[in-house]
Chain A
Amino acid sequence: MTQLLASIGFDRWILHVLLVLPLVGAIPVLLGPARLARGTALVITVLEFLLSVGLWWAVDTNPGTLQLTSSMPWIPAWGISYAVGIDGISLTMVLLTTLLMPLCVLGSWNYITQRERGYYAMLLTLLTGVLGVFVATDLFLFYVFWEVMLIPMYFIIGMWGGKNRLYAAIKFFVFTMAGSLLMLVAILVLAWAVAGRTGTLSFAYQHLLDNSNAVGSLAPWLFGAFALAFAIKVPMFPFHTWLPDAHVEAPTAGSVLLAGVLLKLGTYGFLRFAIPFFPQVAMSPWVTNLILVLALIGIVYGALVAMVQPDVKKLVAYSSVSHLGFVMLGIWAATVQSLQGAVMVMIGHGLSTGALFFLVGMLYERRHTRDIAAYGGIAKVVPVFSLIFTVVALSSIGLPGLNGFIGEFLVLLGSFRPHPVATAIATTGVIFAAAYLLWALQRIIYQKLDQRENESLTDLSLRELVVMVPLLAGILWMGLYPAPVLRKIEPAAIRFVESLRGPLQYQSGTEPTPAVRR
């Protein structure tokens, strides 16, 4: 496979094609006839997925550094280039994105009946934006993708969302922009500080990374600006308030993408930018404790709030806050296992929460209500739906054998040695997750079939099955045999930990964080 790909020069064009194809594809979608819009979008996203699968073989993840790098001058006078690259961590994120996207198109097939052309064009634009964030290796380019991605999501929520969509759309936009504007200033300050030291003004990732200590005493401020931007996106408590609104109001595909992909941009930003640029600040005891506390609040609070939601979509939304708390814990524990776990949670959450949002959307399309109380006992009527719902919910809870378990277990395992107390508290999150999901499951699917409207529910159609099967396959694969994926992530994780270990020893003196190799 590797030879085959090399023979067609796959590694030279793939990243560019992945970025350009959806954007170019948006044009026929937007200008063509409305009835062809969804079909065209499906073809493009499936093609995009098939192309991206080749990355699995084409990217050599073993060195742990960025691969398939290429760079073209964009604004040469300012040292800005169009530069992309990919490593094991971004590889998994790219694949997750390209997998979810065709499913989103299929999932919206009958749900979106108005202004289809605009809708599918927005989905495709969003795909370019998200992939761009994952592969950009120039900070200017990264910032552009980071911001540009807002627009399609803003329109998806605002035009095809629920009742309160205008409020949710503007809240989503303003929250994200608040963080990213400060990050923009931080990027500029960083670039100019590095330029002052090296004499070269450049926004290239590696150049800034190598010289990021040039910022001197400004480092805490710059880290703060980056961290704020990413923390809002994750979202970490207390910046999470945009999330329930946006998730609930967005159409199904919007929620799937928000939860499945967009939230990961925040944690990815921490992994790629905020921590590597300012390791001393990030791993200083003060910041570590703050992040851990916020992550724990997120885990516990998100779970508790999810438990009391009468609206099942809101329940899933709040569960995201909880799951992403695990990711933050895993990142800050900064051991190889905890990092692998964090990335696994990112993937697993993308699959299971994405699937949950799809399922909730399918329920909503049938009954036009998301009230948990409006359901009950539907297992008798829609057995296939109920089976899938149960499996997905169990994977989200973290049942061994399904994907959720691997990630959370690795996070807890890797975090235990550096932060035993925090890990202990985080473990309760798993229990709460079981509580709110099983309880919801019970009230929706089991118990008595006591509502007449539910008796005529139809089971999943073929199209809906096609949406769910890839997700279920992913859930089972990650749960039963995650080793190939872990192997892809490991070198990058080791590299990440090694880059921190020096400063860590220097900072904490007596207690170096162990980097446990498997």
Chain B
Amino acid sequence: MRSLDLTTPMGVTVALLPEIALTVGALVVLMVNAWRHATPRDSRLSGYLALASLVPSAIALAYLWLGGARPDGAAYMVALDPFRFAALALILIATAGTILLSLGYLEREGLIAPEYYSLVLFAASGMMFMAGAEDLIVLFLGLEVMSVSVYVLAGFNRGSVFSAEAALKYFLIGAFASAFLLYGIALLWGATGSTGLAAIGARFGEGPPPLLGKLGLGLVLIGMGFKVASVPFHMWAPDVYDGSPTPVTGFMATGVKVAGFLALARILYEAFPGAQETWQPVVAALAVASMVLGNLVALSQRSLKRMLAYSSIAHAGYLLTALWPGTRLGSGATLLYLGAYTLTSLAAFGILSVLGRGGEREVTLDSIAGLARRRPYLAFALTVCMLSLLGFPGTFGFVGKWAILAAVVEVKQVVLAVILVLTTLLSAGYYLPVIMAAYMREPGGADSHEGAGLPRPAVLTVGLAVVVVILVGILPASVLASAMDTAGSLGAAGSAPVVGIGR
């Protein structure tokens, strides 16, 4: 494919085809909902329509990615590199998985309001804009589109106080975080006269940025810290994750994290390539705090959903550790780990969504006792998910963790690596009991796990995710290599690794 001139309307349009296709899809679903929004059948129709509208977006993405689209000159407003394409692919996967999980869930919980699906699509398009932004304003717009949609989704279970609480809490704190981010963007503009990432990076050049730049960076980090739920900006996450409908929780844990982290990676690597000394201590502090606190608090949770919520804080810590080195290996590890975490979480939340049924909000270890006897496949899938989240060899999660460890070891930061593995050990303390309850304890009653079968669309998601998690865990070569290749397209790719990984 020819390189695209991103200063012309035509060029931008082609570059944004995946986002545009998705937005159009969202509008179509919304239109259909205007006439069909009452029965479960309408809800299903919207769901499948939403799923179908991912296809054009995916085709557009494949067209750009496989065609090797490159910007003519510097990227302007929106990135045009494999790193963005990988981000879009992850977001599409998370979205497709969420829709598939929602199909059965919404009907079962009696949440017949097909607008749900257009909100998911709008959120996804916001995520795409955010993850592919070359400009802080585009990033902010994407973030807001995503956030507003997800606020509504969090409160979608209108009958539940907890869902309402989740929505309100998420909205208030999200607005707060957006303000931080916006203020940071304003300061960066003040310091450099631009909101373009590349332009900011060029203005700051090598060495630490001036005070205004540092302040701006700090505020941006706070804003993004809220979005990805890193300690100390995590307080909202457990309640919101817990109160939201389970597929939405999965969407927040996967899609929102992917968009947040990849946008953050772009900001750090492109706008502050020479300022590693400035941001590395901050990122390290956030990472360590998230890993330690997330894992410690997750240990003491009774409810599995809350446990996964706290563990997602810990995973944010691992991902921040991956960003820390500022090298190609680091951004590659971020990408890989996000891939592993997305697939695993989708499956985990999918399984959770069928376990907690009939108004039973609390899924605890007791409620999955003896799952293996009644639902062997479900128990097996749950086990694979837990092992992958734990980062056990033979799963995708291990590949991701291995890459993160390699990235920090490569720049001789052994302390972070040691903290990462020690906190991983803590996490064994809450992932293993899940396996234990499912396999090693007796079922609570004769009728337990009666209805705990996955609806067919969810089987597809969970099954595919589990298969991929195992396959990549055993044969990670090609995924590793392509993640590293992809990472090479991001800003500071050249920051001298000790040994050339890949080609």
Give the B-binding residues of A (Cβ under 8 A): 73-78, 143-144, 147-148, 151, 154-155, 158-159, 165-166, 169-170, 173-174, 177-178, 181-182, 184-185, 188-189, 192, 195-196, 199-201, 218, 221
Contact = CB atoms under 8 A, between A and B. Distances in A.
B406 interface: yes
A75 B421 contact: no
B321 interface: no
Contacts of B425: 174, 177-178, 181
Max chain A Cβ within 10 angstroms of own Cβ: one of B393, B432, B475, B477: B393
Contact of B499 (A76, A185, A199): A199
Nearest to A196: B498
A195 B406 contact: no
A491 B68 CA distance: 57
Contact of A189 (B394, B414, B436, B476): B414
Given A182-B418, A182-B421, A184-B405, A75 B394 contact: no
Interface string B160-188: 00000000000000000000000000000
B393 A147 contact: yes
B422 A181 contact: yes
A185 B440 CA distance: 31
B409 A170 contact: no
Contacts of B393: 143-144, 147-148
Contact of B498 (A155, A169, A192): A192
A196 to B, nearest CB: 5
B317 to A, nearest CB: 16
A147 B409 CA distance: 21
Given A75-B476, A177-B428, A199-B499, A188 B417 contact: yes
A123 B436 CA distance: 18
Contacts of B498: 192, 195-196
A188 B484 contact: no
Contact of B432 (A74, A147, A170): A170
B232 interface: no
Given A173-B432, A184-B405, A185-B405, 11 more contacts: A73-B477, A147-B392, A148-B392, A155-B439, A155-B440, A173-B428, A181-B421, A181-B424, A188-B409, A192-B499, A195-B498
A158 B439 contact: yes
Contacts of A148: 392-394
B190 interface: no
A188 B402 CA distance: 9
B410 interface: yes
Nearest to A165: B440
A170 B418 contact: no
Contacts of A76: 477
B116 to A, nearest CB: 39
Contacts of A73: 477
Interface string B411-443: 000100110011011001100110010011100
A75 B477 contact: yes
Interface of B: 387, 392-394, 402, 405-406, 409-410, 414, 417-418, 421-422, 424-425, 428-429, 432-433, 436, 439-441, 475-477, 480-481, 484, 498-499, 501-503
B472 to A, nearest CB: 11
B429 A174 contact: yes
B394 to A, nearest CB: 6
A182 B425 CA distance: 10
A514 B499 CA distance: 41
A349 B15 CA distance: 68
A158 B394 CA distance: 21
A73 B405 CA distance: 21
Contacts of B433: 170
Contacts of A144: 393-394
Nearest to A76: B477
The 8 closest A-B pairs by CB, nearest first: A181-B421, A158-B440, A144-B393, A188-B409, A195-B499, A75-B477, A147-B393, A201-B499
A54 to B, nearest CB: 28
Contacts of B499: 192, 195-196, 199-201
Contacts of A159: 439-440
B477 A77 contact: yes
6 contacts: A78-B406, A78-B501, A144-B393, A155-B439, A173-B432, A181-B421
Nearest to B437: A166
A254 to B, nearest CB: 13
A73 B475 CA distance: 11
A137 B394 CA distance: 18
A177 B475 CA distance: 23
Contacts of B405: 184-185, 188
A155 B433 CA distance: 12
Given A159-B439, A174-B428, A195-B499, A185 B394 contact: no
A199 B503 CA distance: 14
A73 B502 CA distance: 14
Contacts of A170: 429, 432-433, 436
B409 A189 contact: yes
A169 B440 contact: yes
B436 to A, nearest CB: 6
Nearest to B481: A77
Given A77-B481, A169-B436, A181-B424, A192 B410 contact: yes
B487 to A, nearest CB: 12
A181 B475 CA distance: 21
A143 B439 CA distance: 26
A192 B407 CA distance: 10
B402 to A, nearest CB: 8
Nearest to B502: A77
A96 B440 CA distance: 30
Contacts of A151: 387, 392
A188 B440 contact: no
Contacts of B441: 166
A280 B185 CA distance: 55
A61 B481 CA distance: 38
Contact of A166 (B392, B422, B424, B436): B436
Contact of A185 (B414, B475, B502): B414
Given A169-B440, A189-B414, A195-B499, A75 B428 contact: no
Contacts of B402: 184
A192 B409 contact: yes
A77 B484 contact: yes
Nearest to A179: B425
A173 B429 CA distance: 10
Given A184-B405, A185-B417, A188-B405, A77 B501 contact: yes
A192 B406 CA distance: 8
Contacts of A169: 436, 440
B464 to A, nearest CB: 21
Contacts of B410: 192
Max chain B Cβ within 10 angstroms of own Cβ: one of A166, A173, A184, A189: A184
A411 to B, nearest CB: 34
A216 to B, nearest CB: 12
A204 to B, nearest CB: 15
B295 to A, nearest CB: 13
